[in-house]
Amino acid sequence: MHKVKRAIIVAAGTGTRMLPLTERTPKPLIKVNGLRMIDSVIAALHANGIYEIYVVIGHLKEQFSDLPAQYPGLELIENPHYVNCNNISSLYMARQHLEDVMILDADQLIRNPAALSPEFERSGYNAIWTDEETKEWLLTVEDGVITGCSRTGGRGGWQLYSVSRWSAEDGQRLRRHLEEEFEEKRNRQIYWDDVALFCHPEEYRLGIRPMRREDVVEIDSLDELIAMDAGYAACKGETNHE
């Protein structure tokens, strides 16, 4: 049994699917029914005894400056590559912290802190089983091990969520592969998840951590934000006007 000792929160992106809000506010700092998304993530980590937290920032980085004072144990890591690279660059910048770690996106609401429980048997991802058609990444699992992943989704599989746990051994392996892809191959337009799931799948035996759909809400677009908080409906009109 492994236990998470630290967390990396990826929060550097520009959030283009949530324009015009993200022109002036980083997506993780947008409030949903009065609560900033990143605060729900940090609160859930704290509820599980995880206080060593690294937040990777880029877009409108100065707006995150209050977080270390608000949350002792939290450290900001700047990603200077966020404009020209995909999020592989964010995890690359935090690669020295990849042992016994939980990696999360900042633009989600953690509605059940138990979804971030620190104990785990196998490195891998939170996931929900879905019989319905989805466009999200869909995992194939056999005997508890991920054997495949569809980037375009499908029907009847385990839908991947942006919460993952990595043992010390797998974290070290992930660091080596991040450096190989980012530095040597200059493969900088991929998601960091691609590194283990597609670039080097034969070197990992990842698993899943089943959860309920309502435990974690991923908010990827303005429409999804409005569905959670109708107060943003006027922003949709502003976007259409533009």
pLDDT at position 241 is: 37
Residue (of 45, 47, 40) closest to 6 by Cα position: 45
Residue corresponding to tokens 């060593």? 52
Look up the domain containing 115 and give its range: 2-241
Q: CATH no. for residue 228?
A: 3.90.550.10
In tens digits, the chain (242 residues) has pLDDT values of: 999 999 999 999 998 888 889 999 999 999 999 999 999 999 999 999 999 999 999 999 999 999 999 999 999 999 999 999 999 999 999 999 999 999 999 999 999 999 999 999 999 999 999 999 999 999 999 999 999 999 999 999 999 999 999 999 999 999 999 999 999 999 999 999 999 999 999 999 999 999 999 999 999 889 999 999 998 888 876 544 34
Counting every residue, how long is the chain? 242
> In terms of pTM, does the model score above 0.75?
yes
Whole-angstrom Cα distance, residue 164 to residue 37?
Answer: 18
- Looking at the structure of the chain, the number of domains it has is 1
Residue 103 structure tokens = 């990696």
- The 3-state secondary structure of 137-193 reads CEEEEECCEEEEEECCCECCEEEEEEEEEECHHHHHHHHHHHHHHHHHCCCCCCCCH
